[in-house]
A and B are shown apart, each in its own frame.
Chain A
């Protein structure tokens, strides 16, 4: 049974009510004129309320500690889910507020904001799911609105192409996930994640290949959304072709939902199967980081460069998951980087959105002299890029330090741990090649003119919030790191009672 007063239920009720309410009032309203500002405001209000609910529930200790697997229903109410919910809601707020400026001259505002809210509900529920069926429903609730949102610029063929590719690969990944769930159900006789994991621990050796096949299919299915190499091919095309606000939602939101699902299913499931899976994740992490950074290095379009950058960041996050069984800080470091990356990449994409709205272009050449023309956008972009590169004292530095530290720490048990850290450091250095390039264009190269442009107010507000987040967390990272540690399951083996 679902507890109606649990965090996921309350958040779903609030967001779903507003998501369904917006199109209804839009249909009933006969008055002409844009309602963009109103819908953006309503969405913002609903998301802030959802954020307050999650925070109050965590602060008042109404949520279960860490990652709770055992649940009678299909969802649980734990700190792990709350951690991801806060990240998703923050991203959705940033997207909804910045869309106020982005959507000004566009149509179908009601559908746009409604779809963002519905996708947010899906992301949030993934973080709380303890049942495969619930996980699949949440996965689709998150994905389907984003297919439509990616194609929101109907007359733009690039946007349509982006959406088609995203939809095709999304459908394929869903099919793969269903196949994996089917195999696990066949092996365990249950759709409850915890019960399945327990059943897998006592799996007959003759059935082990099926368990491993299911694990591989889960990695591929969730890896599509996480943007892991080699399931990443759709990602640069979709992120660069979609409206940049939606690219923000995909890069900072749905990608993280993939990680939430992966931690709930893949990591726990693979431990249950007792196979040497960490090395596989380590290899994927190295390839993901390297391909992402190399791909970004010679891009001319800033959203496409950020898409590759987001790919590389997924590789860094995966380092923590790969070393999780050997280093206590591994999962906490990944969660910390997930929260940081959600804000950092959102800030970078939204700064690019400001340039698109004001200067009408996303080529890197349009960023020349941006420091004079759009100073707040330029400084936000600079801080976001430096934080993504892991430059101290910004938040990205601390989470990368923890990730690489955990990898080195795992060296006591696995030989490849320190090499994973070295690969991460080298990739971080490589990433400066393109991050610094954009900064150079903005501040050290002359643009078409030095005329100060009017920066969109809602985007400036979002960027100022992001600057504050990245700088303050760089100096005072303790609370968020503690929250990430609280949300991480700690001893994975103990979690599934394997001694």
Chain B
């Protein structure tokens, strides 16, 4: 029963959806254009108000000239419509053969390696979810773990002490340069005058 409700709702939305195909597209384009200024070559300037017009939308082309496009109420895309009806027909016929007439045993799919592989492929929805899970989650997480480990282990644990020790080292250099000897101080003083005079003369 739940599957039947789902199937009926899907068919209904599929049929009604044709009528709104152009409108949804326009709404989205209008939203992008107004909110983010995304034009992508063409600005959809039709009103998002569905009650105003469901059949016309104006398109500003690259030359800035507004073009009126008559889309019609049922703007059917024949290829898409035939594909949908075809898929529905093939699926319905196979379902009828397997589960209502019971002429073919569904286990036959398991017996043949090719059909089993095809079934698995379709059952796992073209492995799209798995694919994106690997791309979006597994690989990224592994990468982040590596980066984090490297950042913590090498950069944070390495650079922090390196920074600390280099500061202490430089501090000791300053300390050592402070010899307490007047001769050294005089030398630095004189060198300073020469450097400043040269910098000014440059």
Contacts and interface: CB of A to CB of B under 8 A. Distances in A.
Contact of B178 (A169, A236, A284, A297): A236
B151 interface: no
A427 B170 CA distance: 14
Interface in A136-150: none
B162 interface: no
Interface string B165-196: 00110111111001010101110110111011
Given A212-B200, A212-B201, A298-B175, A230 B188 contact: yes
B178 A233 contact: yes
Given A169-B189, A230-B189, A233-B184, A212 B197 contact: yes
Given A230-B188, A231-B189, A298-B171, A275 B196 contact: no
A225 to B, nearest CB: 13
B199 interface: yes
A165 B200 contact: no
Contacts of A236: 178
A277 interface: yes
Contact of A298 (B168, B180, B197, B201): B168
A51 interface: no
Interface stretch (A215-223, A385-393, A403-411): A215-223
A223 B189 CA distance: 10
A220 B193 contact: yes
Contact of A277 (B167, B184, B188, B200): B200
Contacts of A215: 200
Interface string B138-151: 00000000000000
Interface of B, helix, strand, loop or mixed by DSSP: helix
Interface string B88-105: 000000000000000000
A4 interface: no
A206 to B, nearest CB: 14
Contacts of A284: 196
Nearest to B194: A216
Contacts of B172: 298
B185 A176 contact: no
B99 to A, nearest CB: 74
A279 B200 CA distance: 9
B191 A213 contact: no
Nearest to B168: A298
A217 B193 contact: yes
A165 B201 CA distance: 31
B191 A230 contact: yes
B167 A219 contact: no
A234 B171 contact: no
Interface of A: 161, 165, 168-169, 172, 176, 209, 212-213, 215-217, 219-220, 223-224, 229-231, 233-234, 236-237, 275, 277, 279-280, 283-284, 291, 294-299, 430, 433
